[in-house]
Amino acid sequence: MDNGEKKFLGYAAFLLILLFLLLSLVVRPTSGQEVIDCLVAEVDGVPVSLFDLKVVEAFQLIGSVPEVYKDKEEMLNSYLDRLLVLELAKGQLGASQEELNQEVDRLKNIFGHQEFEEKLASLGMKESDLFPYLQQKILYDKILSSRFNQKLYISLKEIEDYYQQVYVPEEKAKGGVPREMVNVLGEIEAQLQKIKAGQQLKEWVQELRQRADITIYLDCLRKI
């Protein structure tokens, strides 16, 4: 290979690297704003973009109710957990247009119509662009409902312990008078059901993670 060919190959390699860097910073035009996108993670070879994470964060789609995350990496990991669960039911479950419309209405009720539209505009999105993310949430909820739909056994000892160790101290801390245990049995059992289901979900997701190939790109995550 002569010097001319070497120079040409070197120049071509430089252009490819430059092109990759430019593609890693995709600018989505919005109303006076720019949204920088990049590859924030890969799950079994499937790319997850920073833009994806910004969407689910903006519209609080990670969890049935808004959750508090210590940092962005924790929020990302929660989203990746969901993607792992969704992969199990790929092609087996779906979301109807009616269900998608109901989710849109739910978000508009939470944020108000104006804020909902502002969130879309800030991300350079139309309402229909949100549908794939809403479908993820709908399918995830269906999977959990199917897998954890049976009531878990709660012993009287567990109820008594929760009453003494959690319920009574919490009521006193609020300045209230704790009700007799017999009057809050249903509430405590429901709470313990929720706690146990959460523990089972956590263990299940940990098993999925052990079998998955996950890569997180922290440099990209810091741009959020």
CB-based burial label for 80 (10 Å; 0-12, 13-18, 19+): buried
Question: What is the amino acid identity at position 89?
Answer: A
Q: What residue numbers bound the domain in which 201 lies? A: 3-221
What does each of the 224 residues of the chain score in pLDDT, given as a tens digit? 554 554 444 444 444 443 444 444 444 444 445 556 899 999 998 999 999 999 999 999 985 444 555 678 888 999 999 999 998 877 677 889 999 999 999 999 999 999 999 999 999 999 999 999 999 999 998 988 888 777 888 999 999 999 999 999 999 999 999 999 999 999 999 999 989 988 998 999 999 999 999 999 999 988 76
pLDDT at 150: 76
124 contacts: CB under 8 Å, gap ≥ 6: 28, 29, 30, 35
DSSP string of 16-52, one letter each residue? HHHHHHHHTSEEEE-SS-EEEE-EEEEETTEEEEHHH
SS3 state of residue 214: strand
The count of domains in the chain is 1
Number of H helices, E strands in the chain: 10, 5
Euclidean distance between CA atoms 185 and 107, whole angstroms: 34
198 contacts: CB under 8 Å, gap ≥ 6: none
CB-based burial label for 91 (10 Å; 0-12, 13-18, 19+): exposed
For residue 112, CA distances in Å to 53, 106, 122 come to 22, 10, 16
User: What CATH number does residue 106 fall under?
Assistant: 1.10.4030.10
pLDDT at 198: 86
Answer yes or no: are the C-beta atoms of 106 and 86 closer than 8 Å.
no
